[in-house]
Structure 1
């Protein structure tokens, strides 16, 4: 090892062209596991190790390579002609000459990645599931004690604008925004201080006759009535808030006439006046109304910020009559510059769904958990109150649910089956995929069902499953440099209670993920260097490698004998 280190230093001193830690393409190897190859038979974007990409050099085609798709090796290289012999305890490699006239490279890997690995996870079954789950503490939705929130003295740029409803609930001023492939409106997007923006999204109208008068987001009153905005965040403590003012006349409420819903909101424009750190001084709103008869409604939401020191008068832009020559569009009445009427037609088609992995091979956070029935799903509540399904995402702890109601003539067995179908989906999953790439390795689901009590009827009450706790144990396996998430066990535990069939019963589902990864022993430390004396004056009476420097008095004794002989 000493000679190797000496030659390395020599190469740096005398070879001006020697590159230590070179980035030469010859010093990189292929990736054995392509974690970004999620689409079978399709070239994934920026996945430089995807075998479906026909390019011989994907790095020259893509703008960048995803992490893990190119091999990264920590090694020290120099020209091979500088070395005569290597006694390094570390792995070494000779990189051939490329192009031909360049010398070959001798590379030393000071760190062996095969020494850093995860210990094989424990086998999970019904006998030790509870023990492992208790040891690694699963996620819980139980309320925890939280500190009293504090509010700053003034708004900063991009802070959510705080608001309060008539009931006294503190929230934020909402600016609906599009989500998903169909650009449906989400009412969870807050308006942010000093960020003037415009959003456009679609509302889905399932039943026009019912939604016209029942859905609040169709009425203008929903966007200003009983809404007050806090001047500065600290006003939340004393409850002082500014009421949202209406610009112009009070808009009419939606009415259903001749199969069309009149006075439906199509545009909402908030104007917020502010005065530096003094906060918000005024909030006003104006609307544009339409007549709608289709299954979808396009809405626009705009928030504008203006300094209160400026002229507060604002001339509204005249709305262009873009409806000329368009069938199914009714122009606005004369004199109503802020109001125009049109009809929404057509629909947005959902994107074609194709086969896609949830990781390759290990799961990636946020992607669906695979089951023998497809993707594992949980019940979810739709806007109209009906039950739907949403995918269970790997590593995402979530709580969701919906409600069902029985009929008087329905039996307990039929209602119980319907409740199980809502919680589990149809058909019921029996196995989960251990990896996200759809491999044949499956993990059986441990079911802990309620006591079988299917007798009875809706008059006396039925024992129904009302809560499903889905607990998934997973661990990282493989090398530390490229860990892969693998599901080790899954348990579905039901909680039941007796309910009346005619009552609305809320069914809830909780999904939690517990990491039971065990790391292997630390890698071996760097070997020490055994110091040896070089060949010296006393050769051949003493060899350089016969003993350490402090082995005995041999050199001292020889020097004394030589001195005596000279003087005699």
Structure 2
């Protein structure tokens, strides 16, 4: 229960707070008593919600309008007789002992116009002022009641939708202060703008005491005391006739802050509902990130994800690989793109970026095993709906050289789907750019790694000519999703310079702890899936054919202690934590940006004992061999920067004699002339040297002209 409360309040969601409230009240009260929480409400809007807690199985709800007694001033006892009101009462079961009661006003809050005969509006600004009583009854006997004081004002809606003309801002240097700057909406009353001429007297009563202050609200600040037009003869100081300022009222600090513009008719803009994107401006050559265009100057598009949602027609960018999976719930056979695409629709002509064009070559494939495309379906039957030639995957390969697209091929995978009522279909779409026969890989820097970019790793693939080619693979950490279990956890790449720790949960039973060797092998296999590489790239743009651009990954295996033996409910030496340690070094500067290279990468494992916890009264995991407990499997990465001492080497005198070493001695004689040394940084070295020489000159002059030299001259004579 504590975990539920902590989880709810950490997310600060309304549903969680409501759940906590229901659980708390339901535990605090007996189940045979019903009560409204709260029992009194003040409604200022058209919707009111309360909770009825207790034994609500046979409860009926009745609504009526009540008024206080003229003699006692109190509300009468609750009644089980319902009345016709302007409110709609609904109930929703939210638990075994809780019902959400909701009242909704069945009336428009629009303010009636002059001489309007429609009854579904508010004749006065105070639209609703009444007291309601909701009674919870069992067999005609009231058990609890809820009082609602409704005080609702009418909504102020503009008489028209307002002008959609654009306002042109003229030269504001010589424009005077506007008469009502807060009048922002044409033909409608702006709230808190008391100088708006569109506001009626009824509107002003709602916010007359909360008008916008200052010049923005139309209240120009009074003239300053130094203005000649302000001071009177009675309170004028002696200096006023000579030092006052004559300035026109238009010359004020707010000149040009507001404007008097004119309107123009807006030009029609692009529509989000247009099925075809507007023709873009054609480009001469393709560069990385520029959109690819078809022969008729339209975007070359494939389904992609935008803000987490699949979009059927998204432009393909040059040298930007795309790989997405889209889930669609089918209730009938598709008859349009992209789930039903003909080969003729895919054979389009695309501009190659050099003034010519290429034709997309279509390769058809038929998928018989639909397990990787259909994630859920209902039970098959002979009367199911059969959909043929459904597009399951579109895999594009775009071959390029320089700024030119040489050819494009697409592999269309189709299949036949059979279902009864609905099926969840997962379709795959990809577009990869190949330079010759090699896929264009995304680098992480040029040349050094950039912080936040993925660490590049790979495995050596020896070719027939004994030339080592490094094929890129991933180095990842756990990325728990959904329930946090390892079986459903995903992986996230390691980002350079960012320390991180993550993990997942593995359910382990008492039966699993009787096979400790198998358990250790299972955990080791899960951890090894994170690091499948044998080499890591030194720089952010490594050459796959140059082995000197890569360094070996060192793996440290730690044997578990043999002093601790495995028992029935525990296993020792489980590699539950994997740590990746990366050492980097700044090798230089390019344009003022430090270039960092990876010098070494080490993968180590930490062993820990796994023991069933049967405390707290829960002994089922230790008794039932199939009952499981969750054990964490974690992974982490840390980056360490190797510091290089770039200072000058110490001399033999500094090493052998510490008397004059300021770092190892309290008395530092070299600091006697500190202001004229290069270590003084309070001002430029040239200035400090000049000032020091001037002081030395004055010292020598004073010594020559002083008493000792005068006595020497007298003795010499």
Normalised to the residue count of structure 2, the TM-score between the two structures is 0.27
Q: Larger relative contact order (C-alpha < 8 A, sep ≥ 6)?
A: 1
Q: By percentage of residues, which structure has more strand?
A: 2
